Each structure stands twice: as C-alpha cells, then as structure tokens.
Structure 1
Amino acid sequence: MLDQEQHKLTPVPQGATSLVLELPHLQMAALAWGNPDDRPLMALHGWLDNAMTFVHLAPELARAGYYVVAPDFAGHGFSDWRPAGQAYLLMENCFDVQAAALALGWSRFTLVGHSMGAGVASLLAGAHPDAIDKLVMLDGLGTLTTPDEEAASQLGRALGRWIGHQQKRQEQLDAAFPPLPGKAYSSIREAAEARMKGVGAVDLGAALQLCQRALKRVDVEHQAGGWYWQSDSRLRHPSPWRLTEAQNQAFVRAIKAPALLLEAESGLLIERPEIEERFQLLAQGQKRVLVGGHHLHLEEATAAKTASVVIEFLLAEPHE
C-alpha cells in the first residue's frame, strides 16, 4: 500500500513508463508496462478513474507477454479535456481508443476494460470486430440505457446542466480571482477517504492509487491549501444520449473475439438481469464470478486472483 501520510504524488508507478499519444483531436496521456515488441493490449479504466486502476493487473499482464498501454480517457487523469461547450459522450471514447491504437501502430490488439471502460471496449469490439484479438470485461458489459420514451427528457436534463455550466464558466472568466474548480482537500489522504465513498466504492489503498493521477495541488495564490480533483467537472453531467437495450444487444451480438466477463460478488452487475441477457449473446463468451467489489482488479485483497483468471483466459488457445 502507498504511504498514507504522503504529501507528494507518484503518477508514474515503479515499472511503468509515461506516454503522451498525439491524437488528431487531443493529447492522450497513458501509462505503459512491458516490451513494445510484445503482444499489444489496451487497458481502459472506469468513470472518474484513471490509468492507475491497472497498477496491479498491468505488471502481471506484462510478465505474461503483453505490452500494456493504459490511457487516461479524455477529461480524466493527465489527458486533454473535450473543448469548451462540448458534452462528453461515451461513444466518443471509441474513436479515442481507435486513434490511440493507430498512434501506436496497432492494427489488431487485445482489450481489457473496467466498468465504463468495459462498456467502451464492448462497443468497439462490436463495431470493429476484426481489430480485437480478445476481450476482457471487468464488472461491466455494454452501457447504461435510456428507453425510447425517455430520450427527450434525458437530453433535457443534460441541456439544463450544460446551460448552468456555461453560466458558471462565464462568471469564473469575469471574476478577478477565479474560484477553485472544486472542493479543496487538506491532504492526499483526505481526498482518498472521500473517493472511498464514491460510485464504485473502494478501500483506502485503491483510493490512494487512483489519487496519484486524479489530484492537482492548489495554486499558491489561493489562500486555501491542499488538493482538488483535476478531472473535468462535465464528466459528472447527465449524458445527453444513451443507447437503448436493443442497441446494446446488437453491439454484443457483433463481437467476434473470445470474451471474458468477470463479475464481482459485491460489484455493480449482480442485481442487473440485463447483463446476463447480454452475456448470453456473446459468440465466444466466458463468465467468472469472483469474490470482491467493483474494483476487484485494484484492491489488494482480490487483485492477484483477478490477474490469474485474466491471464489464464488470455493465454488459452482459442477453441476451434
């Protein structure tokens, strides 16, 4: 576990290297583990997390013969934000991941995704099936949905939040001393303790790991000291548009790659019957239920078991 009393961040863990991928539309920051000549694997994190979520799993994948690149999604970690005035759409991440693969010179690669990252991975694997060698989904499969009859109200909620954000942004631009973009925490540990209670609650060790690429020190000209979340606040806005369940199922049906779904006993999928329906549509699907919470790959109590199951699947020869 990281030193709980630390006052400095370590955004690049030991054994990893830092990458900046120049995409046509933004800079994408990433962490990489392993030999670039090994089998390519892209690891996609969850909502409001970052590449540090793979700090335990990625080194094991590298030892198994993979070159692991874990990007920070747009608006997360050290990657660029979407342009001002723009909303965040989940499907845009598919273009970002594909652009990152092109920047790395990859035409075919393995995808590992957690939560939102698993949703992005499953969409991309369905939309571009010939590019994906194998697919691993950690406590996630597909996306959140909006029924047809609620599409207008979903966009309405997003527009309302967007209008408020534009007004607040203009007030900040006009202010002589712009306020901080969010709550300031007196220490990294205090921020980690707040993250423990967020969506997909985590233990302290996992929260501290995520904080390494999620926090920014308060500028010295501000009276308040400490740290604040550096992710784009627009990530917390309602999505203006979501797939329907029928559309989710169409993406899943289109996945050709061997796919592994890992569900956590105390995760976010167990009480969602639509996930089982989606899983049954996979052409080459396997499922394992493991002890642990939503971040079973990151929490130290369950990380080793999760890694062993993932590697066993990835190294297995495909069935004829």
Structure 2
Amino acid sequence: MSEAMQPQGTPAVNEATAPAGAMTPQRARAWDMINKSGIVVVFVVLFAVLSATVPDFLTTRNIQGLLLSVTLIGSIAVTMMFVLALGEVDLSVASIVAFAGVVASTVITQSHSVLLGIGAGVLAGGAVGLVNGVLIARFRINSLIATLAMMEAVRGLAFLTSNGDAVMISEERFFDLGGGSFLGISFPIWSNIVGFVLFGFLLKKTVFGKNVLAVGGNSEAARLAGLPVTRIKITVFVLQGLVTGFAGVMLASRMSLGDPKTSVGLELGVISACVLGGVSLTGGVATISGVLVGVLIMGAVQDAMSLMNVPTFYQYLIRGGILLLAVLFDQFRRSKRAV
C-alpha cells in the first residue's frame, strides 16, 4: 500500500517507523535485488575458485566440454521451470528421455527415415506429458505421485519397446543431430541457446507465461479470475514432454543408440538446477536467467569433480548436498517473502 493510499491517521511504513524485521518497501526492493543477483555472485565466485584450484578447468577444451555436458539438463530445465512455477513437479523426465531415445532409434532402424524417427521420439515424449497433465490437472492427482508412477511405467515402456536391450542405429545422418556443429559450436549447445531464449521470452513477455506464474502463485485466485487453470497445467506438461522427448532424441544421436537404461536420476539434477536458479518449489516465482546460472553451477561442480577424479560415491554425496542446500535456500527465500 503506497503512502498516498493509506487511511488517514495511519503512518507510512518505512525504514524509520517499521518494527524490527518488518518487510518495508525499501527492504523488499533490497531483498529482491539480492535474491536475483545472489546466485550470479555465487556462480562467479565458484567459477573463480575452480579456475584457480582445479588443473585444466579454464582451458578452452574443458569449457567447451562443460557446456556440452550441461546440455541435457539445460534443455529440460527450461520447461521444468514452468512445471515448478505452477507449484507442481515432474519426476518422469529421465524415463521420458530413455523412452523417446528408444522410440526414435527403433523407428529409424525399421523405417530408415531420420525425420520420422525424430518426430516419433518427440511425440512419444509429448504423449507422456499429456498423460501427466491430464492426471494432475483434470483428475487432481498429486504431481509427485502421478509423475513417480509415470516414471516407473515409462521406463518399463522403454524396456518393452527395445526388448530390454539398447537399439543400435545404422543411419549415420542421424548422428549429425548430436554430433554436428555450426560456427564451431555443437548442435546440442545451439539447441540449448534457442531453448533458453524461446522459453525465457515465453515466461517473461507473453500472457501465457504470466498466467503460469499467476496459477502457481494462487491457483484458486487464478481460477476465480477466469484463467483456464486446467488447460494451462496440461499445456505446460505437454510442453515438458515434447521438450524432454527432443532431449532424449538428441541424446540417442550423441550415443548412436537408444538405451532404456540411460539418464537414471536425471530428474534430480534438473530440479536442483531450477531451484538453485531461484525457481520456487511452491510456485509463482521463476526466472530464465536464474535457471541458466543454476544449470552452469551444477555443470561446473560436476566437471570439477571429474577433473579431480573424485570417487563416484563422493559425487553422490556432493550432488545430494547441493540439492539439500537448494531446497533450504528456497525455504529461506519463501520465509523472507512472507515477512
């Protein structure tokens, strides 16, 4: 409430008159600035420390490898951001990646058509996203439970489609999708750049993006305001499925096969990157720039551990710690916004 709109006799809340700990407009603006820039500062400090302490971290070859290594998480994070902004979660993305890759590989092997295989893989992911969206938005099933069930079911479909084994691909043209480059930059990195630009615009500059944040902030209020909440949620999950399906096709191209066992645990990395980037687990808050920085932090830490030959079981501990810290930081941000 601005000073001009306050009832007569009610003093303006400012730094001088506010009780200790009260969230005044000045403090709110300062906290908002810290919230937006803090993760960037963390990344800059982390990058500087790793550059100074980890051998070969700052080499051109390693930086290119780092960017390529985060393309799978980054490609899915742009739509996971929308899912989390709704106040929902999707645990089925890793299984969708495997399923889409197997479907694309199987179709390409049987039809010898690369375009048909790519389309089938992407649509397979979109179909899973549609099922997720209908279960969550129309049947009101908790997204954690619904996508956990789909995670298991879709992984099973991947094994059934491939007869329990990896599907080799003989069409070499398909390998260009994941292994080709333009202007010295590989296609997976280009696809990430396009994804961040496209979905950043969708979130920030379109009515759909604003509606997603409104639904995530208060679903019932959005419904009363006339927003098609069910349709918005289904649309977001379909987008999640399509983009994840394309990520699975891209991964199959890079590996030269469709593997039903691939990407186990990927969903935790994607969610961690989003939460690190400032996306609230309770919905209503998301920025594409924050998600980008979150993805880079996850990639930089993983790359540094690989360069330092950190044993695998320690890597599990560190990744789990990062996820826990991200959740605690999200809780801290929410408590500050509630003051």
**TM-score interval, smaller chain:** under 0.3
**TM norm structure 1:** 0.23
Return the index of the structure with the highest Cα Rg: 2
**Which structure carries more relative contact order (alpha carbon 8 Å, separation 6+)?**
2
Superposition TM-score, scaled by structure 2 size:
0.22
